[in-house]
Every structure is written in C-alpha cells, then in structure tokens.
Amino acid sequence: MSLTQAEIATALRECPLLAACTPQEHARLLAAAQCCEFPAGTDIIRAGEPADHYYRILDGAAELITAQARRTLGPGDDLGAEALADAPAGQARHLATARAMTAVSALRLPRSALTAPAARDPRIRSGALLGLAARLGELPPPDTQAPAPKAPAPLPLKQRIGWVATLTLPLLAWYAGGHLGLPQHSAVYLGLFTMTALMWLFSLVDEYIPPIIAVVAMLFIDLVPAQVALHGFYSRTFLLLLGVYALSAVLVSSGLAYRVMLGILARLPDSPFWHRSALTAFGFVLSIVMPSSNARLALLLPLYREMDDSLAAPAHSREATGLMIATFTGATLFSPLLLTAKSSNLAAFTMLPIQVRQEFQGIWWLVGAGVVAVGLLACHLLAMRFLFRADTSRRALPAERIAGQIAVLGRLRPQEWVAALAFLLFLGGAAVPQWHQSQPAWLAGFVLASLLALGLFDKRGFQTGIDWPLIFFLLALDGLTQAIHYLGLTEVMIDTVGHRFDWIGGQLGWFILLALAVTLLLRLALPLTAGMILSATLLMPIGMDQGIHPWVVLFLTSLFSDIWFMPHQNSSFQQVLAGGLRARCDETLFFHYAWWLNPLRVVLAYASIPYWRWLGLY
C-alpha cells in the first residue's frame, strides 16, 4: 500500500493521539512519517525490544500478544505507544508483541519525532500511555480525541468601547493639543499618553503592554532619544529589581520560605490572634525581598488554606474571615512602608534627587514611614485581637502535624543555607550600607550574580523566576515619565497650573490633601503601579515647588495609591477571590475592614507631620 504525502498528512491529522499537535508539529511529523508493510505472520513489535517507533495501522489485522491475553487490532489502532514514554533513549521498551495476522500497512513515526510534541503538550503522552494501559488491562481505550474548542465569549461592551476610544481619542488629543497651542512634540506625547491611559482604563491588553507601545512609538519617530526613552534599562533600578526577584525566587524554590512559615507557626502560641499575627509577620518578612503583593499573597495563600483546613472555623464566621483578612493584609499592608515592597516604589524612586535616593535606599525608608508603619500595624493587630474573636469551641492547630511537616523537610539543605545567607546579606547591606561602601542596587546585583554562579538560580529560574513583564512595565513607565521631563512638559504643567496651588503655601497638611485627591482620582482609572507613578510624576514638581521633601511626596503617593474601594482597583483582591474568599469569608466584613484602612492611611499621614518635622523632612 503506497500513500501519497497528502494521504499520509490526512492519516496523521485523523490520528486522535496527535489531535493536539500544532500545524507546525504536524508538518514536522509528516517529514518523519513512513509507510511500512508487514507480511502476515511477521512481528511488528516485540516485547522487551526498544520502543523506537510508534505505529498506526492503516490496513490489515494484527494480534497483540501479552502474557495474559491476545487481542486483535485493525485499522485505526495503534502500536508501540511505549515510544512516547518519558524515559532515556533505549530504555523505553515494548510491553507486548504485535504480530501481523494478515498483510498489514502501518504508518510509522520515530520516537525522536514525537518527543517535542509530547513535551509541549502532556495530553499527548498521557493519552498514549493511558491507551496502552487500557489495552494491556483489557479495557476499552480512552477517548483521546481533543476536546472541541470552546466558542470564544463575545467581546465585552467595555472592551468594545475601549478599542473604539483607543482608535479615535489619541488622534483627537494630538489634534486638539496642536490647536490649543501645545508644541508639536507635546501634542504627539499627549496623543501617545492618551492611548496608554485608555488601554489601561479599559484593560484592553495586559497592564505592561501600553507603556512599551508608547516607548517604542516615541523611539520610532525620534520624539525622544534612546537614552531618555530607555533610561530605566541602564538605571540602578533595573539591577535592583533583578536582584530582588532572584532572591525572592530562590527563597521560595529552595523551600526556605515554607520552612520559615512552618517554624513561625510551630513556635507561636496556638490562638487565633497569634495565627493571624504569624501571617502578618510573614507578610512583612516577604515584603523585604518581594516587590509584589500578588507574589506575596501567592505564597501566603497555600499556608492560609492549610491553617484554615486545620482550624475548620465555620464558613463566613468572624474567625474564618479574620484569618483571610490577616493573609490579605499581611501581603499588602507593608507595600508603602519599604522601598522593596512595591515595584512602583522602586520605579518611582528614580524620580528623587540623587542625594535623597542615597539617603532613603536602605532602612531609612522604613524609618521615614515609622509613624504610618507603627500606626497601621498597631491598628491591624488590635483589630485582629478584638474584632475577630473566635468562639470557644474552635479547634487547635495540629501542632503534631506541623512538627511532622518540619521533620519531613529535614535539616536545612545547602540551597536553603545559601538562600538564607543571600537574604541576610541583602538585608544587612540595605540596612547598613556603610560596611560594603556601595549601593544597595549593586549589592542586589552581586546577590544575583552569586546565585547564578552557585547554580541556585539557573537559566530556567532566570527565565521564569523573574517577572519580566513587570520589569519591562516599570522600565517603560520610567521612559514615559523621563520623556515628560525631557520634553519640558513638567514646566508646561507648572505653567498651566500657574499659581493655582499657592493655597498650599508650603503647608504639608494642605499638600497631603492634594496628594490624596490626585492619587485617588488617577487610581479610579489606572491600575496601581501606573496610578502611583503618574501621581508621583504630577505631584513631585508641585511638591518640590512648595518646598515639600521629595521623599515625602513619593511616600504619600505610595501610601494613597494603596487606597481602594472597588474590586477592580486591587489585583490582590482578585487573588483572594480565587483563593476562596466567598466560600469561606464574610465578604461584607472583609470589605468593611479594607475600607476602614483607607481613612486610617490618611489619618496616619497627618499624624506623621510632627514626626517628619522632627526628622528634618518638613
């Protein structure tokens, strides 16, 4: 039986096992496929021999012979599924013999051709091996037909409006800017900025994409030189972000983070308050090296689930809600309090004058945020202690199980030692830079280089452990804000607002009000990172013009950008929703707690005024 290439291609497409292959994989399989003829009585495969080929019978009948039974196979059946086993070459062997009962025509695919598709889509391998197991176990083979693709959901109205707006309004902004007397370069920037803001506002693409588009567009038309548009890529922020992400990835992958969490749980008193405090404390520790509340929450949620399962508080009870709130707050509360706790802090940090950057790159950020830190933490702990009391019949945490979990982890492994040392090195270096006489960013770079050299952070970790989209997002945002200064738009803004902010009169109290209004307004439309950076961009020149310390301006935007009222404003909330918020917690209580933190942030900002005066920041 001789088949044309078109017929072989059809046979490959009709093979259920290969239904999940991409067109490119099918093309490659076609190059490797061969048509084979087996006279009656010959063995197609033999048990114990290397499974180097996979066969699909096209014509004729064959007999599958196992130790227990014999089974007849015909056109459409396959042989040699062992070739898809994930074993070193030569070690995958046939488990049965197949003998041609009549003349058999079969399509033959070499194992090497199947390796890549099987590695890409595990369904191909598991489908083949399940079929093999069923055949040997004398069960009907499973249906390996790929599920029919779901019809895509219609495009939501919000996105339709967003796309139409994005296609038209930037052009209008450009045109209007030109006609309102803006210089050509400012009008072009206004158009690009409008495009970016609209794409964020309507969530048309992932958050990190619009600023990249804007930066590329600016470069394409020479609106700003490369050293301005790509400023972030050769700033210290780049290396600082890389180092912090690498450290964070190694802390998790080495298992140290989980061990520390279990250790904290094992040592703290077994009471609801201490359970919640443990989650909060761990959130704080993670905030030092994890510049993303989503990443911290992703690490805390599994621990929350383990604790929640063990404590078995009634669903929607205050105790169950308290535990979720402690998890959520632990991951998010410290974001504005540490430079490295929030990626937008790191990105906006480059806006500060050099001397201020040098002063606040270590522990001084936390010192400056002291009143807010103490206030937020105290109020949170008091709320956890008194507002979310557990009933008396609550179950205890299974101390024995936790001890068992720690025992299973065994002694600290070398990777954990290295991760711990790297963490301490970074922590010590950031807190006391005098001993290394260098910048924390370069220390972060050293930590990154060391982890790479030690093999603890390998190529795969480098590819997957670092949030590259977020880094590109931050650095592109930096380019977008640098362009504002380069194009002289800061002066245009100040000229436009003129003396409208004279009412501030250098009074921090009034400036806090302005910072609150600007940040809240921008956060209504923009995601957290973009909202904070743009707030800082707008407020920094006004604040400095009013004699407000630039770090205070930055801190206020960081603090107020964490204020949220609606679910879409907080991506961490979406995480806890997916993590079982509605099933386990009183959602109203959760929202009330989150909302009460909002005015608290404002009150604490005002309470910081005398402290900042004492520190010489005001």
Partner 1 sequence: MKNRLALVFASLFTVLLLALLVAFNHQKPRVLILHSFSETGPWETAVNTGIQRELARNRRPIAVRWRYMSFSGDMSPAQWAAAGRRNQGAVDSWEPDVLVAIGEEAQVHVGRHYAGRPGPRLVYAMGEDPASFGYTTAGNVTGVHEALPLAQIVELLRHLGRPALRIRALGIDDPTGQAEGQQVRSFDWGPHRLLGVDLVDDFEAWQATVHAAARDTDVLLVLSTGGLPRGPEDPTETDRLFVADWTERESKPLAVGVRESFVAGGGALAVIPSPYGLGEQAARKALDVLASIRDGTPLPPPEDSLEFQIALRPARLAARGIQLPALYAQAARASQSLYD
Which window, 119-127, 282-290, 306-314, 484-492, contacts partner 1 (CB under 8 A)? 484-492
Strand partners, 53: 110
Does residue 3 bind partner 1 (CB under 8 A)? no
Which window, 15-23, 124-132, 159-167, 286-294, contacts partner 1 (CB under 8 A)? 159-167
Which window, 83-91, 157-165, 369-377, 575-583, contacts partner 1 (CB under 8 A)? 157-165
Which C-beta is closer to partner 1: that of 451 or that of 489? 489
Which C-beta is closer to partner 1: that of 190 or that of 249? 190
Q: Tell the smallest beta-carbon distance from residue 544 to partner 1 (Å).
A: 22
In the set 88, 140, 147, 154, which binds partner 1 (CB under 8 A)?
A: 154
Does residue 159 bind partner 1 (CB under 8 A)? yes
Does residue 147 bind partner 1 (CB under 8 A)? no
Which C-beta is closer to partner 1: that of 163 or that of 233? 163
Pairing of strands 34-38, 62-65: unpaired
Compute CA distances 557 → 271, 278, 528, whole Å: 36, 28, 10
Q: Which of 541, 532, 548 lies closest to 489 in space, CA to CA? A: 541
Which window, 152-160, 296-304, 367-375, 536-544, contacts partner 1 (CB under 8 A)? 152-160
Does residue 188 bind partner 1 (CB under 8 A)? yes
Contact in structure between 135 and 144 (CB atoms under 8 Å)? no
Strand partners, 72: 63
Q: What is the 3-state secondary structure (H, E, C) of 42-98?
A: CEEECCCCECCEEEEEEECCEEEECCCCEEEECCCCEECHHHHCCCCCCCCECCCEE
Does residue 213 bind partner 1 (CB under 8 A)? yes
Question: Quick one: CA dihedral 261, 266, 268, 270, positive or negative?
Answer: positive
In the set 163, 442, 462, 468, which binds partner 1 (CB under 8 A)?
A: 163
Which window, 26-34, 217-225, 461-469, 603-611, contacts partner 1 (CB under 8 A)? 217-225
178 by Cβ neighbours in 10 Å (0-12 / 13-18 / 19+) ranks as middle
Between CA 164 and CA 171, with CA 169 as vertex, the angle to 5 degrees is 115
Q: Which residues lie below 8 Å from residue 564, measured CB to CB, with a gap of 6+?
A: 523, 570, 573, 594, 598
Does residue 205 bind partner 1 (CB under 8 A)? yes
Q: Which residues lie below 8 Å from residue 556, measured CB to CB, with a gap of 6+?
A: 511, 512, 515, 516, 519, 539, 605
Which C-beta is closer to partner 1: that of 217 or that of 513? 217
Which window, 161-169, 355-363, 399-407, 458-466, contacts partner 1 (CB under 8 A)? 161-169
Does residue 152 bind partner 1 (CB under 8 A)? yes
Q: Provide the residue type at 138 as one letter.
A: E
Q: Tell the smallest beta-carbon distance from residue 146 to partner 1 (Å).
A: 16
Contact in structure between 558 and 336 (CB atoms under 8 Å)? yes
Compute CA distances 416 → 254, 372, 467, whole Å: 5, 33, 22
Q: Which of 101, 425, 458 lies closest to 246 in space, CA to CA? A: 458
Which C-beta is closer to partner 1: that of 119 or that of 171? 171
In the set 220, 386, 435, 614, which binds partner 1 (CB under 8 A)?
A: 220
By CB under 8 A, the count of residues binding partner 1 is 26
Strand partners, 365: none
Which C-beta is closer to partner 1: that of 134 or that of 167? 167
Upper half-sphere CA count for residue 192 (Cβ side, 13 Å): 27
Contact in structure between 618 and 371 (CB atoms under 8 Å)? no
Q: Tell the smallest beta-carbon distance from residue 121 to partner 1 (Å).
A: 18
Which C-beta is closer to partner 1: that of 228 or that of 514? 228
What token pair was written down for 150? 């779901």
Residue 385 gets the label, from left (phi > 0), alpha (psi -120 to 50) or beta, of alpha
Does residue 194 bind partner 1 (CB under 8 A)? no
Site string for partner 1, 486-525 (x = CB under 8 A): xxx-------------------------------------
Q: Which of 143, 149, 229, 242 lies closest to 189 in space, CA to CA? A: 229
Q: Tell the smallest beta-carbon distance from residue 223 to partner 1 (Å).
A: 6
CA 345 to chain CA centroid, Å, is 17
Site string for partner 1, 167-186 (x = CB under 8 A): x---x-----------xxx-
In the set 1, 69, 87, 155, which binds partner 1 (CB under 8 A)?
A: 155
Contact in structure between 16 and 46 (CB atoms under 8 Å)? no
Which C-beta is closer to partner 1: that of 147 or that of 154? 154
What token pair was written down for 508? 């921090």
Which C-beta is closer to partner 1: that of 10 or that of 184? 184
Does residue 217 bind partner 1 (CB under 8 A)? yes
Does residue 148 bind partner 1 (CB under 8 A)? no
Q: Tell the smallest beta-carbon distance from residue 200 to partner 1 (Å).
A: 14
Q: Which residues lie below 8 Å from residue 315, measured CB to CB, with a gap of 6+?
A: 583, 584
Residues that bind partner 1 (CB under 8 A): 152-155, 159-160, 163, 166-167, 171, 183-185, 188, 204-205, 213, 217, 220-223, 225, 486-488
